[in-house]
Amino acid sequence: LIGVFAMIASSSHAQIDRWFTVQPIQIRDDFGMNPAPMPIFQAETEKIYALFNPQIKLYSKKKIILEEGCLSLPKQYAEIERPENCHIKYIDYHGEAKEIEAKGMLSTCIQHEIDHLEGILFIDYLSKLKKSMIIKKLSKIKSNRIIV
């Protein structure tokens, strides 16, 4: 499974409504282990994207299915179908208008994070049955926790 480390926040700055940073990383291996985060692609080693007021302007017609998870829903994963590529307009860290053509995993990560800005979780793309199963699992986990 490969995923993303992202931070989402709002800003009191008048021209910045919403933003997040994205760095694609491997978050667990095929055996369910949790290795230290590492870049997905060699070329992505130093890439961290800070997207302020991101807007997806175009989606590809071609779709891909990748496994997604989220810290909002601990230890829950599901295969989600999304457009393979997307074209995003945003403001960068220096306040400059930028555009990026995101492909594959990066495209999925950016779409996932923009969904968060819109109040959407990856489970919202699942069937009612699959979504309710995950919610039920999370309810059991929550009820077994001790609050100190």
DSSP state of 124: G
Of 44, 84, 113, 118, catalytic: 113
Judged by DSSP in three states, 125 sits in: helix
- Quote the tokens at residue 53: 């007021």
CA 111, CA 83: separation in Å to the nearest integer? Answer: 9
Catalytic site residue 113? yes
Strands 85-91 and 49-59: antiparallel
Name every residue whose Cβ is closer than 8 Å to that of residue 85 and which is 6 or more positions away in sequence. 59, 60, 62, 101, 102, 103, 104, 107
Say if CB 111 and CB 83 are below 8 A apart: yes
Q: Which residues are catalytic?
A: 113
